[in-house]
Amino acid sequence: MLFVDGKEVDSYAKLLKLIKHSGETIKLSEGGGNWSAAEKERGIAQISGILRKSFKKNGQIDPSKRHWISRFENILMNSTTEQTLYDFKMGFYDLKEDAKFNSDLFNKAIKTLTAMANTHRGAVGYVIVGVCDKKASADAHKNHYDTGWIRFGSYFVNGIDKEAENHEKDTDTYFTKLTNLLKGQPISDRDKDFIGRNIFTIKYHNKTVLIISLSSGDEPSMYDGKYYTRFGSNLDEVKTQNMLEFIKRFA
């Protein structure tokens, strides 16, 4: 229903309730043994018919977008156990009426991506903009912009829509601003190219979320002439005495 029929869950509460009692309606042959193909098809049809009541048609017809919504939820779930490779930002503007774009925050986001890429060969780091990891921050955003948030696990999806509308006209203008700022970042051409090709927005329950990622290359990534690594949420510059061990990660 999610991927073939292009539907999405309309009510998780209703879905859980239907799942809880669905087994009561499935009739199988008695006496044990293997299920026949006909029984499997009949059981699938029965359970599908029951659960379909909690789904609705998904307005998004692009399969890649549906794919990324699932990946986005996986990122949120995985980030609780792999904090080194994930970072979340409410946005790039402070919560005040005359706020200016926080260039330092954007610079740190790109620096963080290089540190994530330096975790090990093959590592992929993500900076997700439009998500709060604390309810207090989500509530502050809600009060400032008079808009709600969507909870997923321990995260609060606030989106970048209101920030973009208030400060940059719309999300397209906001997106263009960030891609232009990326060009001036003190990182390698390889990293600029990768980030530039892997920065995009998705719609999550009518909230626009910005996803920025960087994968490690054959060599460590530098930011402004220095190497950084990330432990939890902390960025550490690689010291000279640790450089040999650090380089071995990419040998």
User: In this predicted structure, which of 11-15, 189-193, 197-201 has the lowest mean pLDDT?
Assistant: 11-15
Say whether pLDDT at 31 is over 80: no
Indicate whether 103 belongs to any domain.
Answer: yes
Q: Are 65 and 203 in contact (CB under 8 A)?
A: yes
What lies within 8 Å, CB to CB, of 78 at 6+ separation is 86
Q: Which residue has the higher pLDDT, 161 or 81?
A: 161
The string of pLDDT tens digits covering residues 42-51 is: 888 888 888 8
Same domain, 199 and 101: yes
The rounded distance, in Å, linking the Cα atoms of 49 and 6 is 16
Same domain, 112 and 165: yes
Same domain, 42 and 131: no
Same domain, 50 and 98: no
Confidence of residue 89 (pLDDT cuts 50, 70, 90): very high
The rounded distance, in Å, linking the Cα atoms of 148 and 150 is 7
Q: Are 117 and 230 in contact (CB under 8 A)?
A: no
Mean pLDDT of 236-243: 93
Indicate whether 2 belongs to any domain.
Answer: no
Supply the pLDDT for residue 23: 77
Q: Which residue has the higher pLDDT, 229 or 63?
A: 229
Indicate whether 146 belongs to any domain.
Answer: yes
Q: Which domain holds residue 203?
A: 63-250
Same domain, 51 and 74: no
Report the side by side order of strands in the sheet with 234-237: 222-223, 226-231, 234-237
In whole numbers, what is the pLDDT of the chain averaged over residues?
87
Same domain, 83 and 162: yes
Confidence of residue 101 (pLDDT cuts 50, 70, 90): very high
Confidence of residue 28 (pLDDT cuts 50, 70, 90): low
Same domain, 77 and 125: yes
What lies within 8 Å, CB to CB, of 199 at 6+ separation is 175, 178, 179, 182, 210, 211, 212, 213
Say whether pLDDT at 3 is over 70: no
Task: Give one DSSP letter per residue of 12-49, joined into a string.
Answer: HHHHHHHHHHHGGG----SS-SPPPHHHHHHHHHHHHH
Same domain, 100 and 18: no
Number of independent structural domains in the chain: 2
Q: What's the DSSP call for residue 250?
A: G
Confidence of residue 61 (pLDDT cuts 50, 70, 90): very low
User: In this predicted structure, which of 22-36, 72-86, 110-124 has the lowest mean pLDDT?
Assistant: 22-36
Same domain, 44 and 163: no
Same domain, 130 and 104: yes
Supply the pLDDT for residue 56: 81
Same domain, 186 and 72: yes
pLDDT > 90 in the chain, percent: 57
Which has the closest alpha carbon to 212: 239, 181, 250? Answer: 181
Indicate whether 158 belongs to any domain.
Answer: yes
